[in-house]
Amino acid sequence: MSDYLVIVESPAKARTIQKYLGKRYKVVASMGHVIDLPKSQIGIDIENNFEPKYITIRGKGNILNELKKAAAKAKKVFLAPDPDREGEAISWHLNRALKIGDDSDCRVEFYEITDKAVKEAFKKPRRIDMNMVDAQQARRVLDRLVGYKISPLLWQKIKKGLSAGRVQSVALRLIVEREEEIEKFVPEEFWILDAKLQAKREITARYYGKNGKKHVPASAKEVEAIKADVVRYAFQVSKVEKKERLKKPPPPFTTSSLQQEASRKLGFTARKTMLLAQQLYEGINLGKEGVVGLITYIRTDATRISAEAHSAARSYIEKEFGDKYLPEKQYRFAAGKSAQEAHEAIRPTAVSRTPQKVSSYLTKDQYRLYKLIWERFLASRMSLAVYDTVKIKITAGPYEFRISGSQIKFEGFMKLYTESQDANESEENSFLPDLREGEKLKLLQLLPEQRFTQPPPRYSEAMLVKVLEEKGIGRPSTYAPIIETLISRGYVLREKKVFIPTELGKVVLEQLLQFFSDIFDVDFTAQMEEKLDEIAAGKLRWVEVIDNFYKNFAKKLKEAENRMQEVIIALEESDELCPNCGKRLVYKTGRYGRFLACPGFPECRYAKPIVKTLEIDCPECGKSLVERKSRRGRTFYGCSGYPECRFTTWDRPQKEKCPKCGYLTVLKGKTLQCANENCGFVLSKEQSSAKKSKEQKSAARGG
């Protein structure tokens, strides 16, 4: 019999911790929450200080009974769910259900699942932190009141199955308002004028203005007038300004910055990033070393690093890269105002476990994410990057042209890691022209180009996560579920990695803002997050916060019940007829995007996916290839003759045929190659020369 019972959330975490604690401890998993609010009713006693009516979650009864039996046999029970409000709430519910006692030092928390961290944590157990529990209860009650009171209204007035989440609706508002900006945007014409000049080598400068004032030509007539006049003057270098610029490394990852960078660099959704990160945190079997947690706790908004981890990183950098890659003193990284000092940033638990050393034990995506975290952490401890920058002013009479460029003088942290924006910068500004003041230049050609102002971009996942964090909406751990809910409800589509609101999403938001504009306001939602933080810090009582919210909410709700009009969403018809009943098929939106369906549902259930036809023939049967979506929303390409022809590929087909065997070619990453596995010929696409040309043109462009 084990002396001590330890309860965590997941079996993977239980296996890892069991290895460190030994035979006197029995580590079991609760499989997440075992007690929660009921799904079938609101579960809040509004008249009795908003008392939550907690029940054992359906299907968790057997788990709870097993935990009770194990607790009865143990000398002491320790509760070790994750070190956050959710984990504290799980611990509180277990404490009550198992009758451990409010005065018991039963709560154990650690921020990395390693031998040392786990054993240290068990030396200093504490009582349940009721302030953290109350903050989680307040969020749960708030979300339940909004969701269970407003959603039935939407079912009555718009469509069954809709929801109005407190935070998700604010995120929807951001996406819809951005779409409205795009729709209202009126492009304005402008022109750029580049001068191709001959010095010791050919350079290109961009027109800046006249008589020292910046000027952007608005029409072809304007730019032609400048061209006609500027050729009368001699071109010469009037000013060369050279400076040294220092670039600080990025901080180690927080939850939010990890989601953003994994989206930009790896193409991962926030949900996928968090799923993979949880696996790396809870433990990976490393063969002889056993199950090991590879990274620290993944829900954090802190950039702090422990002294031990910092020292280990410096030792590694000195050994692998040399002294010059070590900064004299460590940089200070700003943390969010809500960042908890007890938390660290996301980092590898041991910097000596390089991505290469553990790669054979990880899946492809686990490896890619671990490598990103490992490199980012190590880079944050490395030296500044040093640039030589140059700004050159070229005059032709009263006209001014400019060139700007830069070169890396010392790569510092960029030897190991570049942020997304760093990568663009180093690629496009690598050419540094060597010119002297007073030097005469020969005009070779004037190159005008018409352009138009662009609307603001739609939100990508990385952009949306960034703006949610900046505006204080939700918390990093909630970003992934917010996004997934908006998609699953059919409020937004994710197309080409950006979010587009559906007609349903627009209609729902319009109704919500008509009656609850203050509740679904960005600033109000951010202020509510701050109040939840104050509850967690013991500065506010959760019942008072909910009561103040509900007084206004109840009035708005009554008004909406009386005045909200029924809305019929007009479905867009297609040119196709239903093969079963002859009705004209309509466009609908589901979890995986738009599809065609019969408007006679539920009597007629005919539906078909919308496919995009490529002007490329199937290599097996000659019919057209089409673009499709998998059940998980991933794009793939297949034959339009399915199911007779079952040719498919994940890689984008290209028109160019394989010169070796004549089969279809596909773009695999940045490599063009034959799709025939028996051939596999890699084609030369002259990408390197095209890239070099682009770099020179971009770098020599005027600032």
Enclosing domain of residue 700: 656-703
515, 508 contact by CB (below 8 A):
no
The residue behind tokens 């910097």 is: 351
Q: How confident is the model at residue 567 (pLDDT cuts 50, 70, 90)?
A: confident
Average the pLDDT over 532-543 and give the result: 96
Which of 521, 538, 563 is the last residue before a domain boundary? 563
Q: At what angle do helices 85-97 and 130-157 cross, to 10 degrees?
A: 100
Residues 179 and 211 in one domain: no
The CATH number of whichever domain residue 100 belongs to comes to 3.40.50.140
Note the pLDDT of residue 692.
37
Note the pLDDT of residue 337.
54
Residues 465 and 433 in one domain: no
Integer-rounded Cα radius of gyration of the chain = 30
The count of structural domains within the chain is 5
Using CA atoms, how far apart are residues 449 and 396, in angstroms rounded to an integer? Answer: 20
Q: How confident is the model at residue 649 (pLDDT cuts 50, 70, 90)?
A: very high
pLDDT above 90: percentage of residues in the chain = 73
Average the pLDDT over 512-522 and give the result: 94
Note the pLDDT of residue 608.
84
DSSP 55: E
Domain membership flag for residue 41: yes
Buried b (16+ CB within 10 A) or exposed e, 530-566: ebbbbbbeeebebbebbeebbeebeebbeebeeebee
Q: How far lies 323's CA from each of 69, 315, 472, in Å?
A: 58, 10, 40
Which of 362, 380, 398 is the last residue before a domain boundary? 380
Domain membership flag for residue 278: yes
Note the pLDDT of residue 684.
62
Q: Which of 147-156, 245-254, 401-410, 689-698 shows the lowest mean pLDDT across its residues?
A: 689-698
Residues 363 and 473 in one domain: no
**Catalytic pick from 111, 207, 297, 491?**
297
Residues 361 and 345 in one domain: yes
Residues 223 and 368 in one domain: no
Average the pLDDT over 492-503 and give the result: 90
Average the pLDDT over 66-94 and give the result: 95
Model confidence over 392-445: pLDDT tens digits?
Answer: 999 999 999 999 988 889 999 999 998 876 444 444 444 667 889 999 999 999
Note the pLDDT of residue 689.
35
Q: How confident is the model at residue 601 (pLDDT cuts 50, 70, 90)?
A: confident
The CATH number of whichever domain residue 346 belongs to comes to 1.10.290.10
Write down the pTM of the prediction. 0.80
Whether residue 36 has pLDDT greater than 80:
yes
Domain membership flag for residue 446: yes
Model confidence over 100-109: pLDDT tens digits?
Answer: 999 999 999 9
Whether residue 341 has pLDDT greater than 70:
no
Whether residue 343 has pLDDT greater than 90:
no
DSSP 51: E
Average the pLDDT over 285-289 and give the result: 91
395, 235 contact by CB (below 8 A):
yes
- Please calculate the CA angle 305-17-63 and round it to the nearest 5 degrees: 125
Average pLDDT, the chain: 90
Note the pLDDT of residue 624.
92
Which of 423, 452, 481 is the last residue before a domain boundary? 452
Q: How confident is the model at residue 688 (pLDDT cuts 50, 70, 90)?
A: very low
Whether residue 321 has pLDDT greater than 90:
yes
Residues 357 and 393 in one domain: no
Residues 114 and 37 in one domain: yes
Q: How confident is the model at residue 318 (pLDDT cuts 50, 70, 90)?
A: very high
Model confidence over 654-665: pLDDT tens digits?
Answer: 998 998 899 999
The residue behind tokens 């938001």 is: 509
Note the pLDDT of residue 426.
41
H helices of 267-397, where? 270-282, 307-320, 355-358, 364-380
Residues 279 and 371 in one domain: yes
Q: Is 208 a catalytic residue?
A: no
Three-class HEC string of 580-621: CCCCEEEEEEECCEEEEECCCCCCCCCEEECCEEEEEECCCC
110, 126 contact by CB (below 8 A):
no
Whether residue 672 has pLDDT greater than 50:
yes
Using CA atoms, how far apart are residues 105 and 110, in angstroms rounded to an integer? Answer: 15
The CATH number of whichever domain residue 162 belongs to comes to 1.10.460.10
Q: How confident is the model at residue 575 (pLDDT cuts 50, 70, 90)?
A: confident
DSSP 296: -
Using CA atoms, how far apart are residues 466 and 174, in angstroms rounded to an integer? Answer: 12
Contacts of 541 (CB under 8 A, 6+ apart): 134, 535
